[in-house]
Chain A
Amino acid sequence: MSVLVYTESWEGKFRKSTFEAVSYASETAKLLGTDLVAVSLGEVSNDELNKLGNYGAAKVISASDINKGDGQAATAVIAEQANDANAIVFSNTYTAKMIAPRLSAKLKIGAISNVIEVATSTTPLTVKRKAFSSKAIEIASVNSEKAIISIAPNSFGLIETGGSLTIETSDTSEKGGITIEGQETASGKISISEAEIVVSGGRGLKGPENWGMIEELADLLGAATACSKPVADIGWRPHAEHVGQTGKAVSADLYIAIGISGAIQHLAGVNSSKVMVAINTDPEAPFFKAADYGIVGDAFEVVPKLIEEIRKIR
């Protein structure tokens, strides 16, 4: 018996969402009275693997020849390790969203995604998850003895245990039916779904040439930049920045909406953020009903002042 966690790496490094999944899995292992085993795919150094111990993993199996983007291969390797796992935990990354459903179908184990809390019951395993694009919370359970749980980033947090782990290697070299030609990543950019602070702009900014101050504010706060759907649709900003019901989901500690009126679809995608700030000229903008703090005012006056004031405390 054990709990298994998939520990995703990017260019050999783990991210906060990985450690969060390990923390969650470690709490689940405690609930079930068992040990936590991690599975890592792709080349990751021993120094990096050792970090997983600090969040409660007792052992890690490192399959360095597997490309995580090859869902068939990744699923086969994780399935090999899942024989005595009672629960298998993922962070809801794009890649995990390919692997977890495959694993569920392969092993006939119930899979629940978008999970936001540790299990409320273990017989059967029952968890809370976000549904209806964050407009509701669903309580869901698995019908199988075992469970696959994918957690929403930034929903659980990190729990350091100060432990250490043993490293095992797997030399499996499975290959699925696709060829991965390469990746294009915007280096230095903070990913929206993982960011602790997100600064987001809407049509109120009047044009793409005015995004300089949004980026300046984001840089100052170590934040990711985002935008509303209309802004992405008219091409002011790349689609990858679109947050909302049909774009990316945000669950940041702080979400700053500048010149965004707050359509229900936009709010659905961002309202799991802990603190929301709205800056808008229209006092009737729906965002003020959802925000924790607001300023009724012109972004072109308020944002430069905000940058100035934050500079004073940084």
Chain B
Amino acid sequence: MNIVVCISSVPDTTAKINFTDNGSKFDANGVQFVINPYDEFGLTKAMMLKEATGGKVTVITVGDATVEPVMRKSLAIGADAAVRINMNATDSYSTANEIANYLNNNPADIIITGRESIDYNGGAVGGMLAEMMSLPFVNACNGLELSGNTAKLTREIDGGKENITAELPFVIGGQKGLVLESELRIPNMRGIMQARSKPLEVIEPSSTEGLTSSVSFEKPVEKGACKLVDADNVAELVNLLQNEAKVI
């Protein structure tokens, strides 16, 4: 079985988010980049499926050479091969299109993306990829059990979950539940050493035009100071919420 996991290199969840060039560009200075958390759940699930049924796990990303540490980390976690499409990912459509081009030449049984990336939060690459390849797509997927070519999947819906059956191949947008937080794998020394000799293929992109453009960024308006209320005067808090903030 061939499993392809799409990986996004994103600022660490604790990173301070700032912009340069008049707010047009993310300031990567001093920022630690990590595997997008939603992708990491998917990568771990891919490793478990491979261990159960055999096969190959390939991680793929769209980005310039600066994203390679994250790909090496994915290999250290256990992926067999990595592919980097050498293009700055600035738009979901062109990103999905590049990955679809690769998959058309290298067919996969299960294609896993994260539900969304924690930087741009577009949440669009998985769905676009599925449409381009005429495959089913299960988003916010929090359960996947495979028997033969048939999968039982669950996806989060507003207020609950939906149970789905699908035949391979398909695309999922993964999130927590696919595996537990405690099942995520920290690369060990052996994995890190092995990752150095695993293939990391660099492919030049086709020239897809993006469908969206990022104009600029702003920081959210800073809140005023917190009004502290004495713990013995809870009535005052209720009064403020009712009459000042008018929210209850």
Contacts and interface: CB of A to CB of B under 8 A. Distances in A.
Contacts of B164: 69, 178-181
Contacts of A31: none
Interface string B199-237: 000000000011111111111100110111111001101
Interface string B118-134: 11111111111111100
Contacts of B92: 101, 104, 111
B220 A136 contact: yes
B1 interface: no
Q: Indicate the member of B120, B123, B231, B247 with the most A CB atoms within 10 Å.
A: B247
Contacts of A272: 220
B52 interface: no
Contact of B223 (A134, A233, A290): A290
Interface in A97-113: 97-106, 108-113
B240 A293 contact: yes
Interface stretch (A34-42, A56-64, A125-133, A201-209): A125-133
Interface in A56-79: 69, 71-72, 75
A47 interface: no
A242 B238 CA distance: 26
A179 B166 contact: yes
A246 B176 contact: yes
Interface string A183-195: 1111001010110
A97 B115 CA distance: 9
A143 B215 contact: no
A95 B248 CA distance: 31
B238 A194 contact: no
B14 interface: yes
A162 interface: no
Interface residues of B, number: 83
A295 interface: yes
Interface string B159-181: 11111111100100100110001
B37 interface: yes
Contact of B182 (A69, A130, A233, A239): A233
A293 B158 CA distance: 29
Given A102-B128, A143-B212, A193-B158, A292 B137 contact: no
Contacts of B209: 143
Interface in A192-235: 193-194, 197, 221, 233
Contact of B131 (A75, A233, A268, A306): A75
B92 to A, nearest CB: 7
Nearest to A278: B226
A181 B231 CA distance: 50
A2 B14 CA distance: 43
Nearest to B130: A102
Given A72-B136, A135-B17, A178-B165, A306 B237 contact: yes
A101 B136 contact: no
Identify the 9 closest CB pairs spanning chains A and B, nearest first. Answer: A297-B231, A101-B127, A185-B160, A110-B211, A101-B124, A105-B131, A105-B128, A177-B136, A305-B234
17 contacts: A104-B93, A111-B93, A111-B124, A133-B118, A133-B121, A136-B19, A138-B217, A177-B166, A179-B164, A184-B160, A185-B160, A221-B248, A263-B14, A278-B226, A293-B237, A297-B231, A302-B234
Interface of B: 11, 13-14, 17, 19, 37-38, 92-93, 96, 115, 118-132, 135-140, 142, 152, 155-167, 170, 173, 176-177, 181-182, 209-220, 223-224, 226-231, 234-235, 237-238, 240-242, 245, 247-248
Interface of A: 10, 15, 69, 71-72, 75, 93-95, 97-106, 108-114, 126, 128, 130-144, 176-186, 189, 191, 193-194, 197, 221, 233, 239-240, 242, 245-247, 253-254, 263-265, 268, 271-272, 274-278, 288-298, 301-302, 305-306, 308-310, 312-313
